[in-house]
Amino acid sequence: MAPKTIKAALVDALEDLSTEDMKKFVHKLLDRREEPRVKRNRVDGKDRLDVVDVMVATFTEEPALKLALDILRDICCQNVAERLREATAGLTSKPADSGQNQESKDEHFVDKHRRALIERISNIDPILDQLLGSVIQHGAYDRIRAQLTTQDKVRELFKCLRAGPEVKDRFYTVLQEEEGYLIRDLQKQQ
């Protein structure tokens, strides 16, 4: 049964997170630079329901939903983010998605060449090492490294790139450094 409120959907989503992912979620929530900011003493050691209460009290429901979706994508919990987005589809005045699924006339290079990048990146390890901490966190890094083939590792990495254009820009910069020949070849094909 679908939740009747955004708040209930947020609680359900946070309940789906592992203890480690919940710690990451709270860390990202506290690490925000924009106002209003959440104070550590309001969420430290609190359960998931309390964290949602603080988010809704601080931001109101719809902005709290958008923030939760962004944080879930940042910590590579795309499945939870997608379920949350689907659960709240009819509850918001506008789509809760932060624009990542909207069509754009200027498709990002890494999106446009996703298939070729999956097939042709030859050494993913130095790319992952450079992205660790800025684009991917340790949990996602470990999940990616656990994949058996380079192609599967790149596919898993693409799940973390859904967080937005800044993340894709960073990935593109690292690709230029580590796989410059491939990037030049793909640019010639445009």
Q: Does 162 have pLDDT greater than 80?
A: no
pLDDT of residue 96: 44
The arithmetic mean of pLDDT across residues 144-153, rounded, is 93
The rounded percent of the chain whose pLDDT value lies above 70 is: 89
For the chain, the domain total comes to: 2
Both 121 and 57 in one domain: the answer is no
Between 8-17, 144-153, 165-174, the lowest mean confidence (pLDDT) is in 165-174
168 domain-assigned: yes
pLDDT-derived band at 189 (thresholds 50, 70, 90) equals confident
Which residues, at least 6 apart from 146, have a Cβ–Cβ distance to it below 8 Å?
none
Both 77 and 17 in one domain: the answer is yes
The phi and psi torsions of 132 (rounded to 5 degrees) equal: -60, 125
Domain containing 154 — which CATH number? Answer: 1.10.533.10
- Domain endpoint, select from 30, 61, 90: 90
99 domain-assigned: no
Both 126 and 61 in one domain: the answer is no
Both 138 and 77 in one domain: the answer is no
104 domain-assigned: no
Both 15 and 83 in one domain: the answer is yes
Please state, rounded to an integer, the average pLDDT across all residues of the chain. Answer: 84
Both 118 and 152 in one domain: the answer is yes
Both 66 and 115 in one domain: the answer is no
102 domain-assigned: no
DSSP string, 36-98: S---HHHHTT--HHHHHHHHHHHH-HHHHHHHHHHHHHHTT-HHHHHHHHHHTTTTSSS-SS-
Both 37 and 64 in one domain: the answer is yes
pLDDT of residue 3: 61
96 domain-assigned: no
Q: Does 48 have pLDDT greater than 70?
A: yes
Both 72 and 116 in one domain: the answer is no
pLDDT-derived band at 93 (thresholds 50, 70, 90) equals low
Whether the predicted model's global pTM rises above the 0.75 cut: no
Q: Does 121 have pLDDT greater than 80?
A: yes
100 domain-assigned: no
Q: Does 95 have pLDDT greater than 50?
A: no
Contact 61, 6 (CB under 8 A): yes
Both 117 and 49 in one domain: the answer is no
Both 180 and 132 in one domain: the answer is yes
Both 20 and 81 in one domain: the answer is yes
97 domain-assigned: no
| DSSP-assigned beta bridge partners for residue 167 | none
**What range defines the domain where residue 19 resides?**
6-90
**Cα separation of 149 and 157, whole Å?**
12
Q: For residue range 2-26, what is the model confidence (pLDDT) as tens digits?
A: 567 899 999 999 999 999 999 989 9
184 domain-assigned: yes
pLDDT of residue 163: 64
